[in-house]
């Protein structure tokens, strides 16, 4: 009886140990495609950024740029039922734009598409004329660079039922505007289309 009890306790311990070690696991970026959902994920954002930036950098407008232009991020509107981090999207796009050598990003002013750097204004307001700071090291007036271009965008989705399955279309519109003239110098629409069972949800 004692031996049976020992064996039983050993089996229970093994199950408990296994349960304790069945936690989360790491998945690399490529393998994570096997865990796709009807919502927007990392791969969708990467795909949109890659397509849109390729379109932008190959445009005649960008090809003609000789000196880097200062860019600000305007509003990026999320009109979907997904919790999309619009700043992640806008910063991925502008990061690739900056890496091309054609653009410089300013965070002195911004719309809803990113978080402006509040320290730009704060450091000027709190140090100029303040005796506690060496005024020779304080940033002088007139140092901020004026923006020449504005990047804005919108994301929206459309859900339809096709052949007993749910189809969700996502649309990403990005627009680059010349702030001096108000003219659109480039825009692009990228689409993500997903199909799943009716039990799949995209909201």
- Please state, in angstroms and rounded to a whole number, the distance separating the CA atoms of residues 93 and 106: 14
Domain membership of residue 66 as a residue range: 45-128+147-197
Report, as an integer, the average pLDDT of 63-87. 94
Q: What is the number of domains present in the chain?
A: 1
The answer to whether the beta carbons of residues 46 and 172 sit under 8 Å apart is no
Whether residue 37 lies inside any domain: the answer is no
The answer to whether the beta carbons of residues 33 and 43 sit under 8 Å apart is yes
Whether residue 71 lies inside any domain: the answer is yes
Report, as an integer, the average pLDDT of 76-105. 94
Whether residue 24 lies inside any domain: the answer is no
pTM for this structure?
A: 0.79
- pLDDT digits 0-9 by tens, 153-190: 999 999 888 878 888 899 999 999 999 999 999 999 99
Whether residue 19 lies inside any domain: the answer is no
pLDDT for 42: 80
Whether residue 133 lies inside any domain: the answer is no
CATH number at residue 102: 3.40.50
């Amino acid at each position: 009886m004692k031996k049976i009890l020992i064996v039983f306790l050993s089996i229970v311990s093994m199950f408990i140990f296994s349960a304790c070690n069945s936690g989360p696991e790491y998945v690399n970026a490529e393998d994570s495609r096997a865990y796709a959902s009807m919502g927007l994920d990392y791969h969708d954002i990467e795909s949109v950024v890659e397509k849109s930036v390729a379109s932008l950098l190959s445009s005649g407008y960008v090809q003609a740029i000789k000196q880097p232009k200062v860019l600000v991020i305007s509003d990026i509107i999320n009109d979907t039922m997904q919790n999309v981090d619009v700043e992640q999207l806008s910063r991925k796009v502008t990061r690739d734009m900056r890496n091309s050598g054609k653009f410089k990003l300013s965070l002195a002013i911004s719309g809803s598409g990113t978080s402006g750097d509040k320290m730009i204004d704060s450091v000027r307001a709190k140090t100029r004329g303040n005796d506690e700071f060496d005024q020779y090291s304080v940033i002088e007036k007139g140092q901020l660079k004026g923006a020449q271009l504005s990047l804005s965008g919108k994301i929206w989705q459309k859900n339809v039922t096709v052949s007993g399955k749910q189809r969700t279309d996502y649309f990403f519109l990005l627009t680059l505007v010349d702030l001096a003239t108000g003219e659109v110098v480039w825009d692009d629409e990228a689409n993500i289309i997903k199909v799943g069972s009716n039990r799949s949800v995209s909201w």
